[in-house]
Structure 1
Amino acid sequence: MDWPTFLEPISLSIQVSLIASVIMLVLSVLIAWRMARMRFFGKSIVDAILMLPLVLPPTVIGFILLVVFGRRSWPGKLYEKLFGGPIIFTWEAAVIAAVVVAFPLAYRTMKAGFEGIDRSLENSARVYGASEWQVFRYITLPLAFRSVTTGYILGFARGLGEFGATLMIAGNIPGRTQTIPTAIYVAMDGGSMRMAWAWAGSMVVLSFIMLLIVNRLTKEDY
């Protein structure tokens, strides 16, 4: 087996998923927390928009991302001005795709956790002079820790296995944008079943390790 060729997609996939999951974690925690606490007209519409990537085909998500971050869009022009090249067909584009497709799973899980917290505990802390940040940090977040951890792990796994949107916005350039799913596709298309099985096995192992970690963190290892 050509080990450099085998390890390149794995290394890139882990790199992309780690960065995407950190971004996704911050966004999903803050947005889920606010959505669980706020009451406003049109909340159901906003919630549906946030959940939309969960039900849209990956090709549709990839097409939208191409339009939003293409060279003719202002985000695309800004990125090209700052970094000297387009964001399309780069590993950064793969990160964007992973964040978009992983966010709804994390958001939905975390929002349910925040909604399940007894509000009287938070109100009691406010009565004793705690600020909103202190209430969130020392009461809300610890109580929702299991949901946040579960949402994070689901988001990481979803980003790790993303294929369609990543292929459209980041392409499949070996050593630059080729992740494990796209590498499996190319290997199967080229008849290299041994490599396809090896990459598929690595996906199973990585996902299994992440599930073990979340079980330890949530103390559910019976």
Structure 2
Amino acid sequence: MIGLSPEEWQAVRLSLDVATRSVLVSLLPAVGIAWLLARGRFPGRTLLDALVHLPLVVPPVVVGWALLMLFGVRGPIGAPLNEWFGIRLVFTTDGAALATAVMSFPLIVRAVRLGLENVDPGLEAAACTLGAGPLDRFATVTLPLMSPGILAGAVTAFAAGLGEFGAVITFVSNIPGETQTLPLAIYSATQVPGGEAIAARLAAVSFALAIGGLLLAELLARRMHRWLGRG
């Protein structure tokens, strides 16, 4: 990473910024959706489950196109945002964060849902018999026990966000300094003569960041399990 040029460093920093913001945007909604899917019993639950996991099975370009239709300056959501609040997502860093958040959202939901399903209902029932209300039970029993899944999901989504390509380039294009994240910079380097060395350096950085993120997710999950076990 020492040999990166200022432009290459810019792509790395932009990727870290976009991935971080995508997790911050999607974490709380993902926890809520995971709780609904794990504990809720309501009409349309299967459909909601399918819609949540749709970004995992459709091409990322399709997700980017859907975002472009919805949040473009003439889209049903993008037009009011632009006209009423001056918020423009297409071709911006904020839009890149949104596209990345949509793609990584199912990863957080799955991790949180697995953590929630491993919570012993007997512990919540015991808290109820002691007079704890629904919010107290969630804050003092359920949330701490599902926290390993939350942490693992957040870090995994962050690592996946660093590598998001299709949805980002379709929704916000490939603008250096604005939307050109690390994967897009690698793609751009492969399109110019003599760009193989640049692509190799950036690919090495991308690989290192992804491995680091996955190892961190595993480490955090194990430490949380040990901490909860001692508790």
- The whole-number CA distance in structure 1 between the counterparts of 2:119 and 2:196 is 49
Query: What's 1:136 paired with?
Result: 138
Query: What's 2:169 paired with?
Result: 167
Say if 2:98 is the partner of 1:96. Answer: yes
Structure 1 residue 82 displacement after superposition: 4.9
Structure 1 residue 130 displacement after superposition: 1.5
Once structures 1 and 2 are overlaid, which stretch shifts more, 134-143 or 17-26?
A: 134-143
Structure 1 counterpart of 2:75, one-letter code: S
Q: Judge conservation of contact 2:149–2:221 (CA < 8 Å) in 1.
A: no
Q: Judge conservation of contact 1:24–1:155 (CA < 8 Å) in 2.
A: no
Identity %: 37
Query: What's 2:60 paired with?
Result: 58
Structure 1 residue 91 displacement after superposition: 0.5
Query: What's 1:205 paired with?
Result: 208
Structure 1 residue 85 displacement after superposition: 6.0
For normalisation by structure 1, the TM-score amounts to 0.92
Structure 1 residue 155 displacement after superposition: 1.2
- In the alignment, structure 2 segments of 5+ residues that lack a partner are 224-231
For normalisation by structure 2, the TM-score amounts to 0.89
Structure 1 residue 218 displacement after superposition: 2.3
Once structures 1 and 2 are overlaid, which stretch shifts more, 195-204 or 210-219?
A: 210-219
Structure 1 residue 51 displacement after superposition: 0.8
Please report the RMSD computed on the Cα atoms of aligned residues, expressed in angstroms: 1.6
- The whole-number CA distance in structure 1 between the counterparts of 2:197 and 2:204 is 11
Query: What's 2:108 paired with?
Result: 106
- 1:158 aligned residue (155, 160, 164): 160
Structure 2 counterpart of 1:67, one-letter code: M
Closer, same or farther: CA 203–82 of 1 in aligned 2, 3 Å? farther
Structure 1 residue 116 displacement after superposition: 2.1
- The whole-number CA distance in structure 2 between the counterparts of 1:197 and 1:146 is 35
> Across the two proteins, how many residue pairs are aligned to each other?
220
